[in-house]
Amino acid sequence: MEVDKGKGEAEETRKVAEADRDTVTLKSSDGKLFEVSKEAAARLSTVLAGMIAGGSIDDNGTDLKQIGSEALENVVDYCNKHANSIPSAALISSSISFNTAPFKEPEEWERKFVDRLSHDALFDLVEAANFLGMERLLDVTCHKISEMMKGKSPDQIREVFNIKNDYTKEELEEIRQELAWAFYDD
Amino acid sequence: MANPVQSLNNPKAQHGPATPPEPYVCNTSNRAAEGRARGAIQPPRQAPPPSIPSVAGCRYVPSPPRRRASWAFRTAPWRAASPTSDDPLVEILSRLPAESICRFKCVSKPWRDLIADLIHRKKLPFDGDEKTSRIIRWIEKHGFLDFLGQSHGNLYCISGDIDDSYMITEMSIWVLEDYHTEEWVLRYSVSIFQLFGKMRSQFGSYEVVTIHPDCNLVFFVEYDDLKLISYNMDSKEVCDVCTLGRSYGRITPYDPYFSDLSVLGNKH
């Protein structure tokens, strides 16, 4: 009898825990599941915060069909690392307003986090961060890409972004003349 | 968090045209086959998820195998190929110096149009002339740079030749007539002996404090007796203007100040 009662209590506790879990499960476009702390998700992503508040989180895995598993893994990784790092005043203020708050330099761990990514993964992460409304992650990834673009020629940019040059030779010469000042070495 | 639903309004989603949110399948997705399964996102009632610009020709396309050598080998063009004003590319561009951004107008016509539009709407950190700042180099062989100022609407630079004992022996006045060529043109050059005479040049200590914005006049302060001295570049005339009550490192010329002292200009 005593044992049964204990079991019942455990069951009860488990149910409560499930209803009030401190993680959310996210499902990538290719069906992989990732767990992330609810607190971090709500703090770092305006979209996830809205979903948590609106009760549209699925315990079996909230479908994020816009985000591939690799990008989602990076998102979750970022959230976990972020939760473990001491949030500085810089991060808190940068999440208030994207356009008016000055960008705070990436912290050391954030720099390392984006540095290890391939170009494709970095791009996908930008898109995922944009989709999920993760201002700080978007800041950090965009910063990294802009660093990569600095000092590059239009040719190099076309190559990097896989963009077709749709100028004629004459048009290109004309616009280059116009922008001659921007073509000094830098 | 006071109202998380309200905070759902992604600031970025609001710059763009008010298109309804479109599902965007990026090339990482393994197709939308299982994407319609149960548990799909139900957006909260009041606020739609941020709109994600669609990529032309990129929706519902089975993804070919990925190669990961560089961006150049992206299997589908990033939205950079036809960027929109609420694109992350805007955030990336806004972190670049004006020179880079303008140079990237040459990348493609959509880029040119986007950048021109962003400049026009002041989304990028410079004005319509596309030049709020630039670097003008000083050539060291022109001498030790002592003073930088504006006169006759041009940038003037006064430099000095220094001897072994770090005394300035000759003063040169340069003007940047054409900002594009970045060529400093030598206007006047005068030896310190000529300027102040042997005695004063040996024992006095002088500093250029300003240049007249409209006349060919340079002003010095002689520190020993706090005298303001003017030098007329045309007549080569040195003139003691007045004795200052105290020492000035620099005097900032501005028109009302000098128009009050029109006597000074006429004196020469």
Residue A135 makes CB contacts below 8 A (sequence gap 6+) with A46, A94, A95, A98
Q: How much is the pTM?
A: 0.48
Number of domains composing chain A = 1
Nearest Cβ partner of A157 from B23, B107, B109? B107
Residues B242, B146 within the same domain: yes
**Residue A159 domain-assigned (yes or no):** no
Chain A: closest CA distance from residue B221 (Å): 38
- Give mean pLDDT in consecutive 10-residue pieces for chain B, a chain of 268 residues: 40 40 38 37 41 36 34 41 65 83 87 83 60 69 78 84 73 82 83 70 67 83 78 83 70 52 47
Q: Using an 8 Å Cβ cutoff, are A91 and A134 in contact?
A: no
**How many Å is the maximal CA-CA distance in chain A?**
91
**Residue A9 domain-assigned (yes or no):** yes
Q: Using an 8 Å Cβ cutoff, are B63 and B75 in contact?
A: yes
**Residue B130 domain-assigned (yes or no):** no
pLDDT at residue A27, rounded to an integer: 92
Residues B93, B175 within the same domain: no
Residue B165 Cα distances to B106, B154, B197, B220, angstroms: 52, 33, 19, 21
Question: H or E stretch including B145?
Answer: strand B144-151
Range of the structural domain that residue A91 is part of:
2-150
pLDDT at residue B4, rounded to an integer: 41
Residues B156, B224 within the same domain: yes
pLDDT at residue B86, rounded to an integer: 59
Question: H or E stretch including B162?
Answer: strand B154-162
pLDDT at residue A83, rounded to an integer: 76
Residues B147, B260 within the same domain: yes
Q: Does A116 touch chain B (CB under 8 A)?
A: no
CB crowding B57-72: b at 16 or more within 10 Å, else e: ebeeeebeeeeeeebe
Number of domains composing chain B = 2
Task: Write out pLDDT tens, residues A79-136.
Answer: 988 877 655 444 444 444 444 445 678 888 999 999 999 888 898 898 899 889 998 9
Residues B224, B172 within the same domain: yes
According to DSSP, residue A83 is labeled H
**Residue A132 domain-assigned (yes or no):** yes
Inter-chain touch B99–A184, beta carbons under 8 Å: yes
Among A141, A169, A12, A120, CA closest to A75: A141
Range of the structural domain that residue B29 is part of:
10-120
Task: Write out pLDDT tens, residues A3-48.
Answer: 454 455 555 544 444 446 788 999 999 999 999 998 889 889 999 9
User: Which of the listed residues B88, B120, B152 is the one where a domain comes to its end?
Assistant: B120
**Neighboring chain B residues of A123 at a CB cutoff of 8 Å:** 71, 74, 78
pLDDT at residue A95, rounded to an integer: 45
Chain A: residue whose CA lies nearest to B129: A179
Q: Extract the tokens encoding B3.
A: 């109202």
Q: Is the pLDDT of residue A1 over 50?
A: no
Residues B114, B161 within the same domain: no
pLDDT at residue A180, rounded to an integer: 75
Q: Is the pLDDT of residue A2 over 60?
A: no
pLDDT at residue B181, rounded to an integer: 73
Residues B197, B158 within the same domain: yes
Q: Using an 8 Å Cβ cutoff, are B87 and B53 in contact?
A: yes
pLDDT at residue A20, rounded to an integer: 62
What's phi and psi for B232, nearest 5 deg? -90, 115
Q: Using an 8 Å Cβ cutoff, are B240 and B221 in contact?
A: no
Inter-chain touch B42–A157, beta carbons under 8 Å: no
Task: Categorize the per-residue pLDDT at A70 as very low, low, confident or very high, splitting at 50, 70 and 90.
Answer: very high
Residue B86 makes CB contacts below 8 A (sequence gap 6+) with B12, B13, B14, B15, B16, B51, B53
Residues B168, B113 within the same domain: no
**Residue B209 domain-assigned (yes or no):** yes
Among B109, B51, B119, B122, CA closest to B82: B109
Q: Using an 8 Å Cβ cutoff, are A36 and A24 in contact?
A: yes
CATH assignment of the domain containing A106: 3.30.710.10
